[in-house]
A and B are shown apart, each in its own frame.
Chain A
Amino acid sequence: MDPTIAANADLAWLLAAFAIVALMFPGLALFYGGMMGVKSALNMMMMVLSTLGITSVLYVLYGYGMVSGPSVKDWGIIGDPRDYIGLSTVMEDLGTGNAETAYWAAFFILFAAITIAIVASGAAGRMKFSGWLVFSAVWLTLVYFPVAHWVFAFDGDGYSGGFLINDVKIHDYAGGTAVHMNSGVAALALAFVLGRRKGRPERPHNLPLTLLGGGILWFGWFGFNGGCAVVAGFLAQYVVMNTLLAGSAGMLGFLLVERVRSGHFTGLGLITGAIAGLVGITPSANTMSPLGALGVGLVAGAVVCLCLGLKTKLGIDDTLDAFAVHGLGGIAGTICIILFASAAAPAGVEGILLGGSWDIVWRELTGIAVTCTYSFLMTCAIAWVLDKTMGLRVDEESEVAGLDLALHAESAYDIHPVGGQGARLGALADRDDVVQGAGDTGRDTGRDTVKDEEVMA
């Protein structure tokens, strides 16, 4: 077959995977937004979606090179951004017919942006929006770009990549370390520096949104893991299957533990377990047999459910549990690789319970320890410095009023019935289309006019 046609086939799948992953942003916005109280739901959705804006700018300026560029002095610590500043080199068609730098820049922008978006869990309901934008830019630069370089940048012809993947040789299929442990631990660190929310915590205001958002995230995961296969071949179909299996089993693992512990199967538990299973399969999708993928889901779902109370014991208000779901879920998935990876799966890694070599233990544990330690300490430092300089937290009055109103001059819902107490456009007394003191007809007309303009606005 003409090699260009084969390359085009790979590219076609990768372009589809890109679009599928892009849907994770509204997915996460709904997943997180629905879990917030009604007063700060929009703010949370804005924190999630705004990460695309910040990440796109940074990636074009210097981010691509810091992650995927040749390692500075071959140390494997950080990529050299100089060849990629402004991404000016991506404009030439190299004629491969396959994904070139332009594609990978776009695909990895989504990876970086979803990682910082998950961190919003630790700032829920109490962070200035300007503070979030600055924090995300600094965090991407000092935490995500280096860690992604360590894990995602393979050695190439005549240049070196990151040290975790090339020297320590960790196995991390699609970002269990750089995306999930990194963001989960960073959420814990950010929540630690910001402090707890004031007052009584609010219940999740709209769980159907959270279940819908979680379902959309699951959909996105097929592009996330499937796209990391790079080819439209066996590996892509294999990891897509395992991704489905782990999400499904994660749901069951979480539900079983919560039923035993508290007596109820909950809807929030169901979707949380599915996400936990998906986090667990992210590093391990190409290492597991189908039974192993079910095992990863069950373990990740159960571990996350058992560890949700940890934040309360630590006294850290990681509001939407990114630390438990993404941090510990990612660690659980990685430990599953150590224990029961199948040598017959595409990666060819064998877990120690199945007779594999023990050197995988220190490789994976090094990956976990390095990622989590660096992310925690660096995130604390960034948040502390920004809090002391620009101030990250809103004042108490804004927090009590809710961030939607205080920061954005919006409210998520107008749930008043027709003709009820919904906000009107301007004060009635200031409007010259309302005749003061007129009879029935005049006043009715005035109301109708106001309503029409509301609809148009």
Chain B
Amino acid sequence: MKLVTAVLRPHAVDDVIERLQGVGISGGTTTEVQGFGQQKGRSESYRGATYEALVPKTRLEVLLPAEEVEAAVGVITATASTGKVGDGKVWVTDVSDVVRVRTGDRGAAAL
């Protein structure tokens, strides 16, 4: 079992979710986050005073059987890429167990 985590431009996330569902991936979680990277922060000005703020991003997390990971990562990168700095990152981590809250199912049966 794997956890695919993607930090993406917020406006890309709806398309990514739609295409993930298109390849049969049925669940995931998003969180609004802020970050910094090569894109740097953004600068805002209020009455001439400048404030540096982090860049808003959306984090998408999807739990998957290992064999579906490549397809998911492919869909995410293909959909969210604009070719410009700030597109975000995708990473994959191992998951030791998963529990479905409603039934108590564990492991692969809970995915």
Q: Which A residues contact B (CB, under 8 angstroms)? A: 35, 201, 203-204, 258, 261-262, 264, 266, 268-269, 272, 305, 308-309, 312, 321
Give chain B nearest CB distance to A84 CB in angstroms: 41
Chain B residues closer than 8 Å to A308, beta-carbon distance: 47-48
Chain B residues closer than 8 Å to A312, beta-carbon distance: 49
In angstroms, Cα B47 to Cα A201, docked, is 13
Give the contacting residue for B46; candidates A261, A266, A305, A309; CB below 8 A: A266
Pair A268/B47 contact, Cβ less than 8 Å: yes
Give chain A nearest CB distance to B30 CB in angstroms: 12
In angstroms, Cα B106 to Cα A270, docked, is 58
Pair B47/A321 contact, Cβ less than 8 Å: yes
Pair A203/B53 contact, Cβ less than 8 Å: yes
Chain A residues closer than 8 Å to B47, beta-carbon distance: 266, 268-269, 272, 308, 321
Would you list 26 pairs from A and B whose C-beta atoms are within 8 A, ordered by A residue? A35-B46, A201-B49, A201-B51, A203-B44, A203-B46, A203-B51, A203-B53, A204-B46, A258-B48, A261-B48, A262-B45, A262-B48, A264-B45, A266-B45, A266-B46, A266-B47, A268-B46, A268-B47, A269-B47, A272-B47, A305-B48, A308-B47, A308-B48, A309-B48, A312-B49, A321-B47
Give chain A nearest CB distance to B58 CB in angstroms: 15
In angstroms, Cα B48 to Cα A234, docked, is 40
In angstroms, Cα B46 to Cα A321, docked, is 12
In angstroms, Cα B49 to Cα A178, docked, is 29
Chain B residues closer than 8 Å to A266, beta-carbon distance: 45-47
Nearest-CB residue, chain B, relative to A262: B45
Give chain B nearest CB distance to A162 CB in angstroms: 35
Give chain B nearest CB distance to A148 CB in angstroms: 29
Give chain B nearest CB distance to A204 CB in angstroms: 6
In angstroms, Cα B53 to Cα A204, docked, is 13
For B, the interface residue count at a CB cutoff of 8 angstroms equals 8
In angstroms, Cα B49 to Cα A204, docked, is 11
Chain A residues closer than 8 Å to B48, beta-carbon distance: 258, 261-262, 305, 308-309
Nearest-CB residue, chain B, relative to A306: B48
Known A201-B51, A204-B46, A308-B48; 16 more pairs at CB < 8 Å:
A35-B46, A201-B49, A203-B44, A203-B51, A258-B48, A262-B45, A264-B45, A266-B45, A266-B46, A266-B47, A268-B46, A269-B47, A272-B47, A305-B48, A309-B48, A321-B47
Nearest-CB residue, chain A, relative to B51: A203
In angstroms, Cα B47 to Cα A266, docked, is 8
Give chain A nearest CB distance to B60 CB in angstroms: 17
Nearest-CB residue, chain A, relative to B101: A440
In angstroms, Cα B50 to Cα A266, docked, is 12
In angstroms, Cα B47 to Cα A224, docked, is 26
Give chain B nearest CB distance to A322 CB in angstroms: 12
In angstroms, Cα B49 to Cα A312, docked, is 10
Chain A residues closer than 8 Å to B49, beta-carbon distance: 201, 312
Give chain A nearest CB distance to B23 CB in angstroms: 28
Interface residues of B in 53-108 (CB under 8 A from A): 53
Chain A residues closer than 8 Å to B44, beta-carbon distance: 203
The proximity string for B residues 20-54 relative to A, scoring 1 for CB distances below 8 Å and 0 otherwise, is: 00000000000000000000000011111101010
Chain B residues closer than 8 Å to A321, beta-carbon distance: 47
In angstroms, Cα B51 to Cα A404, docked, is 23
In angstroms, Cα B47 to Cα A321, docked, is 9
In this complex, which of B46, B47, B51 has the most chain A Cβ atoms within 10 angstroms of its Cβ?
B47
Nearest-CB residue, chain A, relative to B50: A262
Chain B residues closer than 8 Å to A258, beta-carbon distance: 48
In angstroms, Cα B49 to Cα A262, docked, is 10
Give chain A nearest CB distance to B10 CB in angstroms: 16
Chain B residues closer than 8 Å to A35, beta-carbon distance: 46
Chain B residues closer than 8 Å to A269, beta-carbon distance: 47
Nearest-CB residue, chain B, relative to A321: B47
Nearest-CB residue, chain A, relative to B44: A203
Chain A residues closer than 8 Å to B53, beta-carbon distance: 203
Give chain B nearest CB distance to A241 CB in angstroms: 29
In angstroms, Cα B48 to Cα A305, docked, is 8
Task: Please give me the 10 A-B residue pairs with the lowest Cβ-Cβ distance, nearest first.
Answer: A308-B48, A203-B51, A308-B47, A268-B46, A204-B46, A268-B47, A262-B45, A309-B48, A321-B47, A264-B45
